[in-house]
Structure 1
Amino acid sequence: MSARTEGGSTSEARSRLLGTATRIFYAEGIHSVGVDRIIAEAQVTRATLYRHFKGKEDLVLAYLALADQGIRGQVEAVRAQGLPAADTVRGVGRTITEGIRSDGFRGCAFLNAAAEYPDAAHPVHQAVLAHRQWFLETATELLAQAGCAPADEAGRHFVMLRDGAMAAGCLFDPALISETFLRGVEDLLRTRTAPA
């Protein structure tokens, strides 16, 4: 069966595979899901999977790349609004709470993947570290622009607040966790901003 008969085009088959893998990996975990299930639910052949991805690891890396693009897009959308620096930080915080409050929220895709791939040399773990380094640098830059000092400490504090909210948000009341996180962001902006 060709990729065309499976969905109209090669890119549609790839998108379907990645969409299916993303949904299942995020909801159920990476190691618990085999390629046979992804193939069946995406309604493609094994040959189609291997035409687009070298194997499961390649599919996992594509899943994380898609998650990374989504988060970068959210941050850039907030930045593009041209808000004052502190309001940009608040806006990024709100995108985090929107995720926590969304249906099917299961925590941070990257922290979940790191737990399943603890070997720091593994390509999946490396993808997690690369995303988290970008997020830390971005948070630090935004907080520096908002006048927080020292900015590197403020950036680490923001990331830790976010990580805690992501973990708690799938265990407890997402609305309460979201409110608590946003209060933490306000406290961070208030206590770390240098006096004028």
Structure 2
Amino acid sequence: MVEVDKSTVRPTTHAKVRILETADNLFYGEGVHTVGVDRIIAEAHVTKATFYKYFRSKDALIVAYVQGRDKSTRDFVLSLEGRFDTPERRLRAFVSSVSNDLMNSNFQGGAFINAAAQFTDPMHPVRIAVTDHREWFATELENMFRGMGHPRPGDAADDFTLARDGAVASAHLGDPIAANAALGRAVQRILDESTR
């Protein structure tokens, strides 16, 4: 058993969890700029002092929201490695998850794309958090395509990301069925390139 130095571990309190969960729901559902701190405080049932104890500003909370979404995605991709024995099966499982999201009646577009669209400065901490996520994701995709023997894994990762982002935007703008079908066709074309 590994011994943990408890003096360096800060437990997550229920209040912080409530703030993050409330922010996640509201930011994704309504947009990060339209939801104010006072509303998050009210819906999380915390005091203003408690909010500012954990988050020095709304922007700090938005960064935490993006990082939380990033962690969820990383955990999901890691779980695919344990459940599927080939890179192609992992990629298809990921596409299936995206397809389910696109067809969900509560789908509000891509959380990372939506957050980035509301912050134009590429050096803003929110944009940096989004960029970090997208760079990690591009590397994961490239590794999956390399593992499949794709002749150009970097290009395949770029093509996949473009197809996924396009499907997310198209589904959010009104036609999730067509977006989902187009995503499936695009992914199959990319996969077919690895068997030529």
Q: TM-score, normalised by structure 1?
A: 0.89
The alignment status of 1:188 with 2:174, answered yes or no, reads no
Deviates more, 1:169-178 or 1:51-60: 169-178
**Structure 1 counterpart of 2:40, which letter?**
I
- Alignment match of 1:99 (pick from 98, 101, 125): 101
**Contact 1:78/1:91 (CA < 8 Å) preserved in 2?**
yes
CA distance, structure 1, for counterparts of residue 12 and residue 63 of structure 2:
19
| Greater mean alpha carbon deviation, residues 96-105 or residues 120-129 | 96-105
RMSD, matched Cα: 1.5
Q: What amino acid maps onto 1:13 in structure 2?
A: A
Give the secondary structure class of the aligned counterpart of 2:133. helix
Aligned residues: 186
Q: 2:8 maps to which residue?
A: none
Runs of 4+ more than 4 Å apart: none
After superposition, the C-alpha distances for 1:114-169 in whole angstroms (9 at most, x for unaligned) are 11011011111100100000111111110111111211101100110110011011
Residue identity in the other structure for 2:91? V
AA aligned to 1:129 is T
Following the alignment from structure 1 to structure 2, what is the Cα–Cα distance between the partners of residues 14 and 123? 20
Structure 2: which amino acid aligns with 1:175?
I
Where in structure 2 are the equivalents of 1:121-132 lying within 5 Å?
121-132=123-134
Sequence identity, in percent? 36
- Provide the rounded CA distance (Å) in 2 between the counterparts of 1:70 and 1:175: 25
Aligned-residue offset at 1:54? 1.2
Match of 1:27 among 17, 26, 29: 29
Give 1:179's aligned residue. 181
Unmatched tracts of structure 1, length 5 or more: 1-8
Counterpart in 1 of 2:164?
A: 162
Counterpart in the other structure of 2:86: 84
Q: Is the 8 A contact 1:74 1:95 kept in 2?
A: no
Measured against aligned partners, the alpha-carbon deviations of 1:56-77 in whole angstroms (never above 9, x if no partner) come to 1111011011111111122122
Partner of 2:114: 112
Instruction: Give the unaligned 5+ runs of structure 2.
Output: 1-10
- Pairwise mapping of residues 59-70 of structure 1 onto structure 2 (< 5 A)? 59-70=61-72
